[in-house]
Every structure is written in C-alpha cells, then in structure tokens.
C-alpha cells in the first residue's frame, strides 16, 4: 500500500500548494531563457499530459499546468492531485496514469511530426510503472500473481542492493514482452484521445503560451463542455 502512496502528495489546505509545487518542480526560475520554438514544444507537451489525464475516467484531477521553468530540469509541469488520500491503486488507474504520462510525447509527435529528448523522464516513469505492474502487482496473465525480483532481505553496507534477478532468462523475456504490451496499449489510448481532441489540444497549448500558468478551474472555459467532472475518479471507480 506504501507503493500506492509513493507518487502522491498529501495536500489538505490550499496554502500548501506552493510548497507542493516547490517540491515537485523546484523553485520558479523565470530568469531561464527559453526560445519561442522550445516554449511551443513545452506548451504542447504539458497540454498533452493534461488533456489525456482529463479524458480518462480513473485519473487524479488536473490541478495546475505551467510552462514557467522551475528547478534544474523542469521546463514545465502538469500537477494532478487526488481529491482525498489514497492508499490503494487499481490496475485501470495505473493504466490511465501511464496513458497520461505518454500524452506529452504523443502531443509532440502529433503536432511537430517528431519525438524529442523531452519525454525521457516520462518514459522512465512509464517503464517503471509498467514493470511494477508485471513484477510486483501481478497484473498480467502471462506472469500471473507471482512477485519477480523480490528483495530477500539483503542489505549491503546499509544500502539495499536493489532487486535481485531471481528468475530465469525465459521469465525475463516474458517480463519484457508484457512491459512492452502495457506501454504500447496505453500509448495507443493517448494517441486516440489527442487525435480526437486535436482542437482542444491546440486551445489548451495556446492558452498556456499566453498565460504561462493554468489552474484546474480555468480548464472548463478553455475546453468547453468536454472536460470530465472533477470528481471523475470516485464515480469512475464506482461505475466499473
């Protein structure tokens, strides 16, 4: 259950928001000069994340989208926050989260015709989540409800030596295949959403380039009636 909490921040009052963003994306650094071309790429990238997250039923509500540079590496960010503390995450929630993470890269590809290094961090997260679905959460038919790479209490000089590869090459190959399948299926969903809602993607990117920061409450006006309700997560889970 710890796992389900790892990617979340507990936020109870509105005044904690700046603190949260500071942790997630580092302090604001408006001094960093970003060219108009790259600013456009970043705007579409973040809009891709946000629009896919908004369009799927089992994702946390989009709280903020920003293209103000922060920290060392973050050129922009999309902040999703759950409406209440969560300790358990379902398979479909994980799949939707992967689709939202792929949204940035898909938007770049769709609009500019090519991919860039900008999605490197998203791919790491996506691969890590998909690998955990296969190896820790037992969420695939092929591998079944078995843990792979379980740490067997090994501690080395006070540090965990990480996952021991305690399975065969054949199993390693099946894991790779399942990870591949999960990532591609989630990517296809993101692609379909952004293709269908291309007009919304352009509207969101334009608004972002103009205003630099968008609150979750700004989104309905920009996207019209097509935004999913803010409480989509809870009702979504129940509808299943």
Q: Which residues are catalytic?
A: 46
Tokens 């067997």 sit on residue? 152
155 touches a second copy by CB under 8 A: yes
- Cβ within 8 Å of residue 130, ≥6 positions away: 98, 178, 179, 182, 183, 186
User: What is the closest distance, in whole angstroms, from the C-beta atom of residue 220 to a second copy in the complex?
Assistant: 25
Site for a second copy in 80-99 (CB under 8 A): 84-92, 94
User: What is the closest distance, in whole angstroms, from the C-beta atom of residue 64 to a second copy in the complex?
Assistant: 19
188 touches a second copy by CB under 8 A: no
Tokens 């700046």 sit on residue? 18
Site for a second copy in 45-74 (CB under 8 A): 72-74
30 touches a second copy by CB under 8 A: no
Nearest to 5 by CA among 86, 109, 108, 75: 86
Please state, in angstroms and rounded to a whole number, the distance separating the CA atoms of residues 158 and 138. Answer: 29
Tokens 């300790």 sit on residue? 87
> Segment near a second copy (CB under 8 A), from 29-37, 60-68, 192-200, 210-218?
29-37
Nearer to a second copy, 27 or 113 (CB): 113
Please state, in angstroms and rounded to a whole number, the distance separating the CA atoms of residues 123 and 183. Answer: 9
17 touches a second copy by CB under 8 A: no
Nearer to a second copy, 125 or 211 (CB): 125
x/- binding map, residues 189-228, to a second copy, per CB under 8 A? ----------------------------------------
C-alpha separations of 124 from 60, 107, 190, 229 in Å:
20, 18, 17, 29
């Amino acid at each position: 259950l710890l796992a389900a909490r790892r990617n979340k921040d507990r936020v109870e009052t509105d005044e904690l928001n700046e603190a949260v963003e500071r942790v997630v994306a580092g302090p604001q650094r408006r001094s960093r000069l970003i060219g108009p071309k790259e600013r456009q790429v970043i705007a579409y990238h973040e809009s891709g994340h946000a629009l896919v997250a908004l369009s799927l039923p089992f994702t946390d509500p989009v709280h903020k989208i920003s293209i103000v540079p922060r920290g060392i590496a973050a050129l922009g960010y999309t902040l999703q926050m759950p409406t209440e503390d969560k300790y358990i995450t379902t398979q479909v929630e994980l799949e939707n989260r992967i689709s939202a993470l792929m949204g940035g890269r898909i938007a770049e590809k769709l609009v500019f015709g090519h991919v860039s290094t900008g999605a490197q961090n998203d791919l790491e997260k996506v691969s890590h989540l998909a690998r955990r679905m296969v190896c820790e959460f037992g969420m695939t038919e092929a591998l079944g409800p078995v843990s792979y790479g379980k740490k067997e209490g090994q501690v080395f000089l006070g540090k965990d030596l990480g996952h021991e590869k305690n399975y065969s090459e054949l199993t390693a190959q099946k894991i790779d295949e399942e990870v591949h399948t999960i990532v591609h299926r989630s990517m296809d969903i993101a692609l379909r959403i952004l293709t269908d809602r291309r007009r919304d993607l352009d509207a969101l990117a334009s608004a972002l380039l103009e205003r630099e920061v968008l609150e979750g409450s700004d989104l309905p006006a920009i996207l019209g009636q097509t935004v999913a309700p803010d409480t989509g997560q809870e009702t979504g889970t129940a509808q299943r």
